[in-house]
Amino acid sequence: MGQHELLFQGAAWDFSTIQRTFAAIEDIAVNELGLDTYPNQIELISSEQMLDAYSSIGMPIFYNHWSFGKHFARDEKAYRKGYAGLAYEIVINSNPCISYIMEDNTMTMQALVMAHAAFGHNHFFKNNYLFKEWTDADGILDYLSFAKAYVARCEEKHGVPAVERILDAAHALMDQGVDRYSRRSRPRLADEKKRAEMRLAHRQETFNDLWRTLPQKKEAASLSDGEIDARRAALGLPEENLLYFIEKFSPRLKDWERELVRIVRNVAQYFYPQRQTKMMNEGCATYVHYRIMNRLYDRGQIGEGAILEFLSSHANVVFQPDFDDPRYSGINPYALGFEMMRDIERIVSAPTDEDRAVMPAIAGQGDVMGVLKNAWAEYRDDSFIAQYLSPHLMRKMRLFKLADRPDDPHYLVDSIHDERGYDGVRRALVRQYDPGFREPNIEVTDVDLSGDRRLVLTHRMSNGVPLSEDNAKASLNYIAELWGYAAHLNGIDADGTTRYHLEAGPTEAR
C-alpha cells in the first residue's frame, strides 16, 4: 500500500468526499499525467435535471423550441420504462469547464466521472486544434444566454409561430451550416452579441417612419452576362455553408430572421468539432479516467471494492460487440478510442518489430503522455486513424472490410486483418470517420438573380450514395422557405451525370 489514506469507503458521498477526491485526481492528472485543463466547475444535479439537460443538447442555457420538448418526452419515457439509462455525466466545452454529475451515482462513479469529464474531456477541449480554432470556450455561455433572450424577444414581438418557422427551417440545415475549412474570420461569440445589440440600437436611433412612404423601386432591369458573373463572384459561389449563404443573401428574410439563422449557424459551428472528434475525445477521456483510477488504487487512495466497481463499469463503457452480435450497432467510439490510446501507449513503451516498421516515429520513443498529448492536440478522428491505427490493433479487434455494391447480390469481404488487408481496412475506416464522406456534400452553386431568383443547390454524390429522399424533400422545402423563392437540388454523380432533381417552392402565405 502507498503512503496515502483511503479517500472514501462505500457508495455514499458528501461534498467533502468529493472535494477530497477531486484534489487527489487533480494531483495525478496535473502532476503525473501533465494534463492542461480549463478551471473546473462541478455541478451536482438530479436525474430529472439530467433529462432536462439532455433535451437541450446538453447545454445549461438554450433557447426554447418544440423539438427539445419532443426529445425530452422521448428520453424521459425511455428512462422511466428502463429502456435506457442516463449518461453519468455531461461536460460542457466552456471556460470554466462545467461537468454535471448526478446525485444518484455512487462515490466511485463520481470519481470516475470527474476523472473522465473534468480532466479527460477538459484537456481535449482546451488543446485540440479544432476546438481551439472553431469554438470559443470563454464566450459560449454568454452567447447562449444572449441567444435565448434574443429568441424570446423575437417571440414576444413577432409571435412564436413566426419564430418557429425560421428555427424549424434553420435546424434542418444545421449539418450544412458549418464552415469545414477555415476561410472566414473566426466567430468571437462575445462580439457576436455586441454586434447584434449594436445593430438593433442603430436601427432604433436612425428609425424614420418617413422612409416607408417613399415609392418602392421597380425590379431592377435584367443584367448582362458579365454583370451576372460579377454578381456570382460577389456571392462567393459555390458555397458549402447553406445557412451562411441564406443569412447573407436571402432576398426575403427580415433582419431579425437573419439573426435567428445566424444563431443556429453559430451553434452548429460550435458543435462541429465535437462531431469530428467524437471517437478521439471519448478515447482520450476514457484513457485518462482509466489511468487515474488505477493510479488512485496503486497509491492506496481507493479500496478493492471501488476499483472492482470501477472496472466493471469501465468494461461496460468500452464493450465492443462483434458485428454478428444482436447488440451490435456500429463501432463503439469509446471502445475504439480507448483501444487506440492503449495501443499507442504499448507502441511507445514496448514496441514489437512490426510497430518499429510501421510507426518508426513513435515506436519505443518512451514518452507515452508526450505522444498522446501531441495526438490529442493535432488530429481529428479520420486523420488520427490514418496515422495511428496499427496492424496489431486491427488484429486484436479483428476488423474487416465489407464491400457493398448495389448490383451485386452479395457483400464482398474485401480485406481483413492480414498483411494484404491492413491498408484497405484502415483506409475504409478513415473514410467512415471522414465528415466529407459521412455527410452529404451539398453546395449552393447558382442563383438566378436576374430571373426568378431560384436557388440552385448541387449534391455531389460520392460513390452514388443517394440522400434519404423524404428527408431531402422536406429539407429542401425548408430551404425554399428561408430563401423566399424556389430552390432546386441536383444530384450529380462523380462522372458529372445528373442522377436526380428535386424542386421546392416557398409557401405563399407569408
Partner 1 sequence: MNIIDRRPNPKGKSHTNRQRFIRVAKETIREAVKRSIKDRALGDVDSKEVVDIPMKRINEPRFHHSAQGGERDHVLPGNKEYVAGDALPKPRGGGGGGGGREGSPDGEGEDSFQFTLSREEYLDVLFEELELPDMAKTHLKETMGFRTTRAGFSATGAPNNLSLLRTMRKSFARRISLGRPKLAEMAAMDSAIAGLADRSDRSPEEEDNLIELRAERENKVRRLKRIAYIDPVDLRYNRFEPTPKPMAQAVMFCLMDVSGSMTEQMKDLAKRFFLLLHLFLSRKYEKIEVVFIRHTSEAREVDEETFFRSRETGGTVVSTALAEMQRVITERYPPEDWNIYAAQASDGDNFSSDRAACLRLLDQLLPLCQYFAYIEVLDEQAVDIFRDDNNASVLWRDYKTALESHANFAMKRVFSKADIFPVFHQLFAKGRKAA
Query: Segment 32-91, which members bind partner 1 (CB under 8 A)?
Result: 39-46, 48-49, 51-52, 55-56, 64-70, 72-74, 77
Shortest distance, CB of residue 66 to partner 1, whole angstroms? 4
Smallest separation, CB 414 to partner 1 (Å) = 7
Q: Where are the alpha helices (DSSP H) in 206-277?
A: 225-235, 242-249, 255-276
Q: Is 411 in the site for partner 1 (CB under 8 A)?
A: yes
Distance CA 146, CA 154 (A): 12
Integer CA distances (angstroms), 215 to 206, 209, 221, 252, in order: 19, 13, 17, 19
Considering only residues 6-25, where is the footprint of partner 1 by CB under 8 A?
15, 18-19, 22-23
Contacts (CB under 8 A) with partner 1, residues 455-474:
459, 461-474
Residue 355 has which C-alpha cell?
510497430
Burial class for 211, CB neighbours closer than 10 Å (0-12, 13-18, 19+): exposed
Whole-number Å distance between alpha carbons of 370 and 348: 10
- Give Cα 458 to chain centroid, integer Å: 24
CB 507 within 8 Å of CB 485? no
* Shortest spacing between CB 12 and partner 1, in angstroms: 16
Segment contacting partner 1 by CB under 8 A, of 209-217, 232-240, 364-372, 439-447: 439-447
Q: Which of residues 329-348 bind partner 1 (CB under 8 A)?
A: 329-331
Q: Which is nearer to partner 1, 77 or 356 (CB)?
A: 77
Closest CA to 25 of 287, 314, 281, 295: 295
Cβ-based nearer residue to partner 1, 209 or 325? 325
Which C-beta is closer to partner 1: that of 218 or that of 410? 410
Told to check if 308 binds partner 1 by CB under 8 A, we report no
103 binds partner 1 (CB under 8 A): yes
Q: Give least dist CB 366 to partner 1, A.
A: 30
* Rounded-to-integer distance, Cα 181 and Cα 177, Å: 12
Strand partners, 489: 457, 502
Q: Is 217 among the residues that bind partner 1 (CB under 8 A)? A: no
- Alpha-carbon gap, residue 379 to 391, rounded angstroms: 19
The one among 139, 337, 421, 506 contacting partner 1 by CB under 8 A: 421
Among 11, 30, 200, 416, binds partner 1 (CB under 8 A): 416
Closest distance between partner 1 and the C-beta of residue 378, in Å?
23
Q: Which C-beta is closer to partner 1: that of 188 or that of 427? A: 427
Is 347:359 a contact under the CB 8 Å cutoff? Answer: yes
Asked if the bond preceding 273 is cis, omega within 30° of 0, the reply is no
In the complex, the smallest distance separating the C-beta of residue 502 from partner 1, rounded to whole angstroms, is 11
